[in-house]
Chain A
Amino acid sequence: MNPPLAEPPPPPVPVLALGDVLLVTLQGDLHDSAAERLQHDIAERVAREPVAGVVIDISGVEVVDSFLARVLAEIASTARLLAARTVLAGMRPAVAVTLVELGLTLPELTTVLDVGQALALLGRTPSGPRARQGGA
């Protein structure tokens, strides 16, 4: 039997641009290196492009720990320094309960039920940009 190979690096989390909103969809576990890469990517994109908001969709995440919570909070703080707003969308009930039990209530993050509402909040409807101004 061959000795186990070193684990291949996890693929980077894609960051999609929808007009001036960045959409990040997290799925399953987020490895340390992928998280670091994601933070770096978002910071670069927000600084380089005219980004008004970052939407992080975590509806596909079933387990969170304090690490992921810290990564999310750091992304939000970084984006705010660069004048962009971060919205967290679609947290599952079990995940919300876990975070609260851990005492991580993420006060610096705006939260919404799903990506559609996040885009509406940032002043874009899913069908077209600038359809509705302002939001909440």
Chain B
Amino acid sequence: MQVPEQDTVPESAARWVGEFLRRRQEQIAQRWADAELFRTVFTVSRDEAVEACKAVLDALSAVAAHGALENVAAPGFGPVRDQLGRMAGSRSRAGAGPARVADEVAALRGPATALLRGEFEDPSSEQAHECVLALTVLMGTLRLVVMETALGEGEQLIERQRQQLLEVATPVINLWHGIVAVPLIGTLDSARSQVVMENLLDAIVTQQARYAILDITGVPTVDSLVAQHLMKTVAAARLMGAECIVSGIRPAIAQTIVHLGIDLGTIPTRNSLADALAHVLRQQGIAVSAGAPVGAVPR
């Protein structure tokens, strides 16, 4: 293909392409519906795929009519952003990476360009070249919009999940009157330990808890940073007037702590959550005795 000398697309060509996209909407939509991108997303019915194609073509035509061929943020793309995001999301769930999706969007250019060439009696005229160039630029912009939308969705998802992880992973359980426990699960980083500390201290106030148990059975590894966070939490709880006990240190973690030379001597520790609870109940003078044995009594 012969590339025109000037890089900028004349506005008349952009308008012409916009008009062409509107006029030939049906034909292009029919061809696009068979393209991999639409075919794999709208598997239920072909009509649905054609409708989706028409919506995208409407947007492209609006953008071209305004002459904003290279503007990714053009208002014309607004109505189809959601749809493009869903399509990109559906493709990535099906295992297609971003590069693959970009290729699929690029593949939409072929059918449209072929139709555009057919519009001209002399496909090698200068006007034809300008219009093909305009369409090419427009399709490039569409590709960028799809990628941008897809990446934005991904970022939102990650942000939402990060927030959920913070909320879900740090419950404070009221074990007994005046006894709260935090079962820690998963790797502790600074942000999470901060949330754990704040939740625990708040619970100590609201539950009037004199004892707090930090159970680290679900923590896979303890390094010096995690140990430091534990010590800080215990110290803060003590300042507020609650005794803090760490339970559930697994043998491997105990060895790691000793090898790292971390001194947890100031922190009371117990083998398991049950041991810690028993210790605290004893401290409070609460005796738990076994009642009459309960067998499988027929009712």
- Chain A complexes with chain B: yes
Q: Using a CB–CB distance below 8 Å, which chain A residues touch chain B?
A: 88-93, 95-97, 99-101, 105-106, 111-114, 117
Contact A111 B240 (CB under 8 A): yes
Q: Which of B69-126 contact A (CB under 8 A)?
A: none
What is the CA–CA distance of A105 and B238 in the complex, to the nearest angstrom? Answer: 8
Interface size on B, residues (CB 8 A): 18
Q: Secondary structure of the B side of the interface?
A: helix
Contact of B202 among A93, A111, A113, A114 (CB under 8 A): A93
Contact of A105 among B197, B202, B239 (CB under 8 A): B239
Contact A97 B241 (CB under 8 A): no
Q: How far in angstroms is the closest Cβ of chain A from B204?
A: 7
Known: A93-B201, A93-B205. A101 touches B232 (CB 8 A): yes
Q: How far in angstroms is the closest Cβ of chain A from B297?
A: 42
Q: Secondary structure of the A side of the interface?
A: mixed
Chain A residue nearest in CB terms to B201: A93
Q: Which residues of chain A are within 8 angstroms of B275 by Cβ–Cβ distance?
A: none
B237 sits at the interface (CB 8 A): yes
What is the CA–CA distance of A89 and B237 in the complex, to the nearest angstrom? Answer: 12
Q: Which residues of chain A are within 8 angstroms of B237 by Cβ–Cβ distance?
A: 96
Chain A residue nearest in CB terms to B237: A96
Contact A111 B204 (CB under 8 A): no
What is the CA–CA distance of A71 and B197 in the complex, to the nearest angstrom? Answer: 26
Contact B235 A89 (CB under 8 A): no
B236 sits at the interface (CB 8 A): yes
What is the CA–CA distance of A113 and B205 in the complex, to the nearest angstrom? Answer: 8
What is the CA–CA distance of A105 and B231 in the complex, to the nearest angstrom? Answer: 10
Contact A111 B238 (CB under 8 A): yes
Q: Which residues of chain B are within 8 angstroms of A91 by Cβ–Cβ distance?
A: 239-241
B223 sits at the interface (CB 8 A): no
Contact B238 A97 (CB under 8 A): no
Contact B242 A99 (CB under 8 A): no
What is the CA–CA distance of A101 and B202 in the complex, to the nearest angstrom? Answer: 17
Contact A113 B236 (CB under 8 A): no
Known: A100-B232, A113-B208, A117-B210. A89 touches B239 (CB 8 A): no
What is the CA–CA distance of A95 and B197 in the complex, to the nearest angstrom? Answer: 12
Chain A residue nearest in CB terms to B202: A93
Contact A96 B236 (CB under 8 A): yes
Sample of 12 A–B contacts (CB below 8 Å): A89-B241, A91-B239, A91-B241, A93-B198, A93-B202, A93-B236, A96-B239, A97-B201, A111-B241, A112-B210, A113-B240, A114-B241
Contact B210 A96 (CB under 8 A): no
Contact of B241 among A101, A105, A117 (CB under 8 A): A117
Contact A97 B208 (CB under 8 A): no
What is the CA–CA distance of A100 and B228 in the complex, to the nearest angstrom? Answer: 11
Q: Which residues of chain A are within 8 angstroms of B198 by Cβ–Cβ distance?
A: 93, 97
Contact B208 A111 (CB under 8 A): no
Chain A residue nearest in CB terms to B283: A136
What is the CA–CA distance of A57 and B104 in the complex, to the nearest angstrom? Answer: 69
Minimum-distance CB pairs A-B, first 7: A93-B201, A112-B241, A96-B236, A111-B241, A96-B239, A113-B241, A105-B235
Q: Which residues of chain A are within 8 angstroms of B210 by Cβ–Cβ distance?
A: 112-113, 117
Interface string of B202-220 (1 = CB under 8 A from A): 1011001110000000000
What is the CA–CA distance of A92 and B204 in the complex, to the nearest angstrom? Answer: 10
Q: How far in angstroms is the closest Cβ of chain A from B91?
A: 46
Contact A100 B239 (CB under 8 A): yes
Chain A residue nearest in CB terms to B210: A113
What is the CA–CA distance of A38 and B14 in the complex, to the nearest angstrom? Answer: 82
What is the CA–CA distance of A106 and B237 in the complex, to the nearest angstrom? Answer: 12
Q: How far in angstroms is the closest Cβ of chain A from B209?
A: 8
Q: Which residues of chain A are within 8 angstroms of B197 by Cβ–Cβ distance?
A: 97
Q: Which residues of chain A are within 8 angstroms of B240 by Cβ–Cβ distance?
A: 91-93, 96, 111, 113
Contact A97 B236 (CB under 8 A): yes
Q: Which of B225-269 contact A (CB under 8 A)?
A: 232, 235-242
